[in-house]
Amino acid sequence: MREQASILLVEDDRTIRTELELHWQRLGGWRVQTCARLSELPEALARSAPDVIVLDRQLPDGNALDWLDGWRQKDPHTSVIILTAMDRVMDRVEGLRRGADDYLVKPFAPEELDARIVSLLRRTGATQGTRLQFGPLLWLQEQGEVRVDGVVLELHPRELEVLGLLIRRAPRLVPRRVLVDALAERNLELTDAAVDVYISRLRRKLAGRGVEIVTARGFGYRLDMSTAGDNETGGDDGD
């Protein structure tokens, strides 16, 4: 299994939820958080940045595909596996068309779900390496630096930390709270507004270099290779 990968399980059946959580804890190597309703998702996603979301289709407070429609507008990259008893071909096709990366029908073997998760992690490269690249950006953990087309980018230590988190998740979304918490671990006096300042500085330093920081309003930030402005880039926060 991919060490340090993060799984978010959204399942209202307590038995399934508990059994999967215990199963993954026994296997080790994955961080797991769970919730039982769509209404719990915003808080769960604000706490951490999952590599894979395992999502029950029919939840007590709505159809998960309706939530997925909106989520894909904010984060088109985080892998999602739909978990459901709806087994018709048209149900599977609808799930995939509306943003799911995979679709698993209940009842299922946990080992099959494991294999599908590993496959998605392999596809997205969800690892915590010491040398990671996204487009022209190369993040070197041991050297404590980021290079752009081979040239070291001059960064403040906090800017380096923020950009490192974005590169490790790229092109997936990093919740704003994750960035705030990561910085707060090093400086207890740090305010939430500091993240806006660092994002603003990084945007200026990355300008014209073929990669940009995109704002998903109300959620967080992600790196994108496109330099064309879109309606979610949001400009320089906190400048």
Domains of the chain: 5-124 (3.40.50.2300), 131-224 (1.10.10.10)
Q: Which of 106, 5, 89 is nearest to 55 (CA)?
A: 106
Residue 105 C-beta-side C-alpha neighbours within 13 Å = 9
Q: What is the pLDDT of residue 140?
A: 80
- Measured distance CA(27)–CA(114) in Å, rounded: 10
Phi, psi at 134, each rounded to 5°: -135, 110
CA gap 239, 236 in Å, rounded: 6
Task: Check residues 93 and 189 and name the one with the higher pLDDT.
Answer: 93
Q: CB-hemisphere CA count at 13 Å for 20? A: 30
* 174-175, strands of its sheet edge to edge: 174-175, 220-224, 212-216
Rounded Cα gap, residues 56 and 59, in angstroms: 7
205: tokens are 């330093």
Token pair 């296997």 in the structure block, residue: 27
Find the range with the poorest average confidence among 57-61, 131-135, 181-185, 192-196: 181-185
pLDDT tens, residue by residue, 104-142: 999 999 999 998 998 888 776 654 456 777 888 888 877
Nearest to 11 by CA among 79, 112, 106: 106
Rg (CA), the chain: 19
Q: What does the pLDDT look like over 4-18, one tens digit per residue? A: 578 999 999 999 999
- Is 230's pLDDT higher than 50? no
Beta bridge partners of 222: 214
**0.75 exceeded by pTM:** no
Sorting pLDDT into bands at 50, 70 and 90, what band is 234?
very low
Q: Which H or E run includes 7?
A: strand 5-10
pLDDT of amino acid 190: 64
Residue 226 has pLDDT above 70, yes or no: no
DSSP code for 236: -
Amino acid at 139: W
pLDDT band (50, 70, 90) for residue 231: very low
